[in-house]
Every structure is written in C-alpha cells, then in structure tokens.
Amino acid sequence: MKKKLSFRTVDILLILLMVVPLAAGMLLKVLTEPASEGLTIAGARIFFTVPMPLQNMPITESQINTWLVMLSILGLCLFLTHGIASDKRTARQMIAEWAVEQCEKLVKQNMEHDVFAGYGPFVAAIMALSVCSSLLTLIGLYPPTSDLNIVGGWALLVFILIMKNKLKAGPVHYLKSLVDPIPVMAPMNIIGEFATPISMSFRHYGNVLSGSVISALVAWALGNLTSKLLGWLPGFLGEIPFLQIGLPAVLSLYFDLFSGCMQAFIFAMLTMLYVSGGYPAEELMNRLSKKAKPNPAQ
C-alpha cells in the first residue's frame, strides 16, 4: 500500500511537471503582455537583457517558451517511463516502447550506416521539441519555431554534426571534396556547405511564421467584415464576430497542427539525410581495406 501510494505521488508530480510550465507560460503572458487594439503582428517580446562582454544577450519570449516546452517534454518522458518492468507491461510503457521503436525504425531507414544507430534520441528530441513548440499557438503562447534565432540554433547544431562526419576521413579528403569535380567549382561548393543550415532554418521558420500571420490576418479581416455587415444588429448581437466562427478554426487546425507537425518531420528528415550523406563511407572502407592488405615487403 505504501509503495502504491509513493508510485501515485510520483505520477502526480510528473503530471504537474508537464502541465505547470505551460500554465506558467500562459500566466506570464497574461501578466506581461501589453494591451493592444486591432491587429498586431510582432516578434517575440524581450523580457530583459543580460550584459555580455561582446554583445548584450536578450532574454526573449521564444527562449522562455522553449525552456517551458523542454520541461513539459521531460515530464512526459519521465511519466511514460515511470514504473517500467519486464514482467508487467502497462499502457504507458507500451506507448513509450512504440515511440522508441518507430524512431529507431525511422533512423534505420534513412541513416543506413551502423554508426548512426545511436542517433534515435537526437532525432526524437528534434521532432518533439519542434512539434510541441509549434503547438504552443493552440494555447495562445508564442511559438519558438516562429523565431529564426531558435530554429537557426537547431540548424547550426545539425551543421556541426554534418561537418563532424565529413571530417571523419581527414581534413585532406574534405578539402578535396570542395574542389570536386573541378577546382573552379570550389566557391560554389563552399557556398553550398553554408547554405545547408540556412535553408533548413528558413524553411522551418518561414512556414510556421507564415501560417501564424495568415491565420491572424484572416481572423482580423473576418472580424472587420462582421462589424460592417452585421453591426446594425441590436444590442450585444452586433458585437458578436459571427464570421469569425469556423474558418479561423479550420486555418488554425491546418497551420498550427498539421503544418507544424509536417515541418517538424521535414526538419528531422533533412537532419538525417544531411548527416548521413556527409559520412565518407566509401573513403573509410578504402582505408580499412588498404590497412587489411598484407605488406609484401614483410
């Protein structure tokens, strides 16, 4: 009985870890967001600035919401894995096992080399963080995926992994690849190297931001159209935005839910393809085969 009580207590604490950060974000927005009239489209608000030697570091709404999402994801992972046992599988354990199996399957299908077998947690973290960040709009919070600085940081991390794999065959082999097929292509190849993280970040950021802007513009336009056409209705009926019922919700369902999940999946797919594509498997195999050949001088 005591063990069951402690187990349920931990479950409650983990559920609070999932819910409290999001509730705190909503409360923070209500308390700090200035009142506005009409349509307002702006980026992430800056709460305060930390003095730094080279450049001051602003602490923005995007950074705060990213940490809140990470805490909620941590709580969800701990909740799903709490009480895992080999003899008695619970529903939450089966959900956790299914998620792990699907992620490992996705990595195996897109990153064929065995050296990438451990990339499952990284890919899962990228997808979960991206999806949950985009879905913050459903509860009225600013999505960090609408901030180029946040998505650019993810793309920079992926770029570091790409370069790490490309340099596995040595810096000489990497420099040779920059002048392939002819030396005159070196400038284009160098630009292509840096274009990878830029294109990844702008694709993800642009799609999420454009969806939020379109939804806001349509809702604002329908609200104004309602006041023009139905403002003559008596009493409070003239203040009800009848035309805002339906279409904005459908657009939000598409842009916030479907498009957000799709962009997270595309970002994860590009991550796997670029990282695995930079791995010099053929060059490393040639080096291993040369080392395995016996030396005729011996």
Higher pLDDT, 296 or 117: 117
**225 contact partners, CB below 8 Å, separation of at least 6:** 243
pLDDT in tens, 186-228: 888 888 888 888 998 988 888 888 777 777 777 777 777 777 7
Mean pLDDT computed over every residue of the chain: 82
What is the distance between the alpha carbons of residues 205 and 182, in angstroms, rounded to a whole number?
Answer: 35
Where does residue 256 fall: left (phi above 0), alpha (psi -120 to 50 degrees), or beta otherwise? Answer: alpha
Average pLDDT on 112-121 reads: 83
Q: What is the pLDDT of residues 4-32, one digit of tens each?
A: 888 889 999 999 999 999 999 999 988 88
Pairing of strands 46-50, 57-60: antiparallel
How does residue 282 score in pLDDT terms, banded at 50, 70 and 90?
A: confident
290 forms bridges with which residues in the sheet? none
pLDDT at 237: 59
Convert the pLDDT of each residue in 164-189 to its tens digit. 888 887 888 888 888 877 888 888 88
pLDDT at position 65, please? 93
Task: Put residue 240 in one of left, alpha, beta given phi > 0 → left and psi -120 to 50 → alpha.
Answer: beta
- 30's tokens: 């209500």
The pLDDT-based confidence of 261 (bands split at 50, 70, 90) is confident
Q: What's the confidence (pLDDT) of residue 256?
A: 74
In which band, very low, low, confident or very high, does the pLDDT at 260 lie, cut at 50, 70 and 90? confident
Q: Tell me what pLDDT residue 16 has.
A: 95
Give backbone dihedrals phi and psi of 57, rounded to 5 degrees, phi first: -105, 110
Question: How many CA atoms, within 13 angstroms, populate the side-chain half-sphere of residue 241?
Answer: 13
Q: What is the pLDDT of residue 6?
A: 87
pLDDT at 287 over 70: no
- Indicate if the pLDDT at residue 295 is higher than 60: no
H-assigned helices in the chain: 2-32, 61-81, 91-110, 120-134, 148-166, 171-178, 186-230, 247-252, 259-277, 281-292
With a cut of 80, say whether residue 294 has pLDDT above it. no
* pLDDT digits 0-9 by tens, 44-99: 888 889 888 888 888 899 999 999 999 999 999 999 998 888 878 888 999 999 99
